[in-house]
Structures are given as structure tokens and as C-alpha cells.
Amino acid sequence: MALLHTEMHVCVLGGGSWGTTVASLASHNTATTIWCRDEQTVTDINERHINSRYLEGYELHLNLQATGDLEQAVRRADLLVMGIPSDSYRETLAAAAPFVRPRVPVLSLTKGLEQGTRLRMSQVTNEVLPGHLAGALTGPNLAKEILAGGAAASVVAIADEVVAEALQAVFSTDLFRVYVNDDVIGCELGGALKNVIALASGMADGLGTGDNTRAAVITRGLAEISRLGQALGGRPETFAGLTGMGDLIATCSSPQSRNRFFGEQLGKGKTVAQVAADMDQVAEGVKTTPVVCMLADDAGVVMPIASEMNRVISGQQTAQEAYRGLLSRSVRRETDAPQSQAPQKVNRLAP
């Protein structure tokens, strides 16, 4: 397999903050090229070893090379890493597909679901590049903290154990610890679903509700994530780990979180369009939320927090109305799942 070459070449598609950070991490261990659409970003990385658009003030590894030529970036790759938002993931991978050599694994960094198909990114990869091993690198990872030298941990989720261990070596550094997990479904769902809860947590912050409310939203949000994740094939222990609880805590708590920030602005009274216009990066949770609600309906899983966020995002209610729903929650046992087919008892913001 190409991945096991002693001199491996990694290609990362996408010059956003996380794609750039992962490319810089890989550059510690092997030859790495990042493909960026923006010519200035290519110049910044090659000549100044920075990404001034998304990571101003943070230095990248000196060995990282950038290009705006997709064919040049992909053709040599022994590992293809997709740092592309969910709404353009399929299109970008399809454009790269003619240049991807046989059996090259594809690793997604994207924490979202494809609209329309409701597919996870590894499933999209399997459709666009059948026969290629598909997985994800995911976990509680904030790009700027990692580039600043903070310790962090992540997970390579891929079905092949040999490849997984090889990928550990690709991304691991002294301060970036990489674990492996063959539960690709659970790991990908944890990363996508936590963004919905992060919107709710940020919205509560924007409303000025305090730490108690945030803790309640995070905890009950994890229960929602676990219920749907298991219904869709993920393993329970995955949602208690780095790609579930760990990623949820980081994303709901950090001011660096795009989804938490988006929710916070909604809580302060801005519209979805206003917040989106002020952001230069994608908050995946906004597009993921309606998809999650459809998946939950199909699976017969009640997800009150996601349902309320979907109503806010679609303009059916305000953040204040969603919060009032939280306060009017009917009392039940903490460990009981809310019942489907009982709309009069469906919660507004917390299950």
C-alpha cells in the first residue's frame, strides 16, 4: 500500500485554519503539501511560513509547502487529507479524483454532514473514490492552541488497524497525541453532532444565562449525541471519549469555537444571515442542524436541543423563545430518554 512507503507524501486539501494546522503537524514527520485556493495564502506559506488569512501570528513548520495547482498537489500523495467544508467536500474531491493514485487512503477533517444525502464525509469519499480506505482525524482540537504549542489529543478513525497505526506516526508530535479508533461512524458523528450542541451552548452564553446553564446544555447535549449516534451505528464508548465528550466540551467552552461564537451571536439577537456575513470561516453546525433533525426523525430519536436550534436557525423562533422552552421542561428521570411520538412533551432546548 502506498501509505507504507518509507518516504511518504501527505497532501492536505484546504487552506483554512484546521487544514493548515494539520498540514503543519504532518510536516514534522514527512513531506507535506497543502493545496489552497487563495494565491496569497500559498505565497504566505511558502515564503513567510504563516497563514495570515486564518492564523495570523502563528508560525507554521518550515518544511510545509503550498500550491494552488490541484493536480500537482494530489498526484504524488500517499495520503490525501480533506480539510474542506461539507458543502464543497464532494465537489473538491471529485475534482481531485482523476489525480489520486490507486489505494491512497483519504482522511477527512470535516465535522459535518452532507445536505441532501445526509451522508458522513467518509461515505461521500466512498462514493467519489470507491476502493479507497476512508476515515477521519477528529477530536477536541483548536487550531491556534496547537500551533501555539499547547498539548492536545486527537483520534484517527479508520477501519484498517495497520493503516491507523501508520497514520498515528504521520500526525503525532511531542505535544500532539494521536489515538486510533475503528468506530468511524461514531467518531464522525461525534464531531458533526457536537457542533449543533455548541450552537445551543453559545446561544445560552449570548443570553447571559451563566455557567450552570452551559453545564446543563453540554451534559444533556451529550445524551442527545449518544442516543442518535448509537441509533446510527456508533459505539457507546466512542461518545464518552475524545471524539464525543472531549470535542463537545472544547467546542462549547472555547471562545475560539466558530459554532459557539455563532450561537452566542444568535443569543445576542442577530440573525443567521447577519452572523454568517460577519464570519470568514464556516460554522458547520448551522448547516448540520437540519440534517441532524431529519436523521433523528428517521431513526425515531428525540433530540430536543437540536430541534430547538433548528427552529432558531430556520427563523421559526427567537433565541429567547428557545430558552423559555428550556425553563418549561417537563420533569422526568435523568436517565430516561424522551419518548418519540409524544410531541406535547418534546423539550425546547434541553432534553
pLDDT, tens only, 265-321: 999 999 999 999 999 888 999 999 999 999 999 999 999 999 999 999 999 999 989
Q: Which of 182, 216, 241 is the last residue of a domain?
A: 182
Query: For residue 306, what is its C-alpha cell?
Result: 437540536
Residue range(s) defining the domain that contains residue 283: 191-345
Residue 327, pLDDT score: 56
pLDDT, tens only, 219-264: 999 999 999 999 999 999 999 999 999 999 999 999 999 999 999 9
**350 domain-assigned:** no
Rounded CA gap, 113 and 116, in Å? 9
Q: Which of 182, 213, 244 is the last residue of a domain?
A: 182
User: Look-up: residue for cell 449525541?
Assistant: 225
**1 domain-assigned:** no
Task: Say what percent of the chain tops pLDDT 90.
Answer: 87
195 and 130 co-located in one domain:
no
135 and 30 co-located in one domain:
yes
pLDDT, tens only, 170-216: 999 999 999 999 999 999 999 999 999 999 999 999 999 989 999 99
**151 domain-assigned:** yes
Rounded CA gap, 178 and 174, in Å? 10
Query: For residue 272, what is its C-alpha cell?
Result: 443567521
pLDDT at 158 over 60: yes
| Mean pLDDT calculated for residue range 41-51 | 98
247 and 212 co-located in one domain:
yes
**351 domain-assigned:** no
| Mean pLDDT calculated for residue range 140-168 | 97
| pLDDT band, residue 2 (cuts 50/70/90) | very low
Rounded CA gap, 346 and 199, in Å? 19
The per-residue b/e assignment along 301-327, b for 16 or more CB within 10 angstroms, e otherwise, is bbbbbbbbbbbbbeeebebeebbebbe
- With contact defined as beta carbons under 8 Å apart, do 34 and 10 qualify? no
Rounded CA gap, 108 and 81, in Å? 6
Q: Which of 134, 149, 182 is the last residue of a domain?
A: 182
172 and 124 co-located in one domain:
yes
Rounded CA gap, 65 and 248, in Å? 32
Residue 282, pLDDT score: 85
Domain of residue 138, CATH code: 3.40.50.720
Residue 12, pLDDT score: 98
128 and 200 co-located in one domain:
no
15 and 119 co-located in one domain:
yes
| pLDDT band, residue 326 (cuts 50/70/90) | low
113 and 197 co-located in one domain:
no
Task: Say what percent of the chain tops pLDDT 70.
Answer: 91
Read off the DSSP letter of residue 76.
T
200 and 154 co-located in one domain:
no
| Mean pLDDT calculated for residue range 150-165 | 97
**274 domain-assigned:** yes
Which sequence positions are flagged as catalytic?
Answer: 194
pLDDT, tens only, 308-317: 999 999 999 9
The model's pTM is 0.91
**2 domain-assigned:** no
Instruction: Please state the domain count of the chain.
Output: 2
Domain of residue 319, CATH code: 1.10.1040.10
Find, among 315, 314, 304, 305, the residue nearest to 339 by Cα.
Answer: 304
